Amino acid sequence: MGNDKLLMVSGRGLIVPEAPLDALLEVGKAISLVACFLFCNVASEAQPRSFTIKASENASRALPTSFRLLNSEYQEGFLVFPLNNRVKASMLNYDLYAGLLTSINDAKDTMAFNKDAAILFLSIGAEDFYHDVRKGLFKILASDSINLLTANEQLVKRPPKPTAEGYGTSTNGTTATNSSSRDADVIYDRITKYFLIDASRTIFIANKQGFYKTFRNQEDEIKVYIKKERIDFNRKEDLVKLFDHCKLLSITR
**Per-residue pLDDT tens over the stretch 169-208:** 443 444 444 555 567 899 999 999 999 999 999 999 999 9
What percent of the chain lies above the pLDDT cut of 90?
Answer: 55
DSSP summary character for residue 22: G
**pLDDT averaged over the chain?**
79
pLDDT more than 70, % of the chain: 72
Q: For 212-218, what is the mean pLDDT?
A: 94
How far is the C-alpha of 152 from the C-alpha of 25, rounded, in Å? 23
Averaged pLDDT, 37-61:
72
From the DSSP assignment, how many helices (H) and strands (E) are in the chain? 8, 12
pLDDT, mean of residues 226-251: 96
* Secondary structure (3-state) at 159: coil
Q: Is residue 105 within 8 Å of 119, Cβ to Cβ?
A: no
Please tell me the distance from the alpha carbon of residue 84 to that of residue 121, in angstroms, as a whole number. Answer: 9
pLDDT tens figures, 148-161? 999 999 999 998 77
Closest CA to 190 of 95, 42, 55, 68: 68
CA distances (Å), origin 7, targets 20, 102, 116, 168, 221: 22, 23, 24, 52, 29
CA distance 14 to 147: 23
Nearest to 133 by CA among 88, 99, 92, 90: 99
pLDDT of residue 5: 39
Tell me the average pLDDT across 11-36.
40
Segment holding 27, helix H or strand E: strand 25-27
Sorting pLDDT into bands at 50, 70 and 90, what band is 45? Answer: low
**Which is more confident, 179 or 243?**
243
Task: Confirm if 149 and 196 have CB atoms less than 8 A apart.
Answer: yes
Looking at residue 1, the DSSP 8-state letter turns out to be: -
Give me the phi and psi of 194, to 5 degrees please.
Answer: -110, 140
Amino acid at 108: K
Least confident stretch, 50-54, 131-135, 162-166, 194-198: 162-166
The answer on pLDDT for 70 being more than 60 is yes
pLDDT interval class at 12 (50, 70, 90): very low
User: Which pLDDT score, from 0 to 100, does residue 145 have?
Assistant: 87
Say yes or no to pLDDT of 117 above 90: no
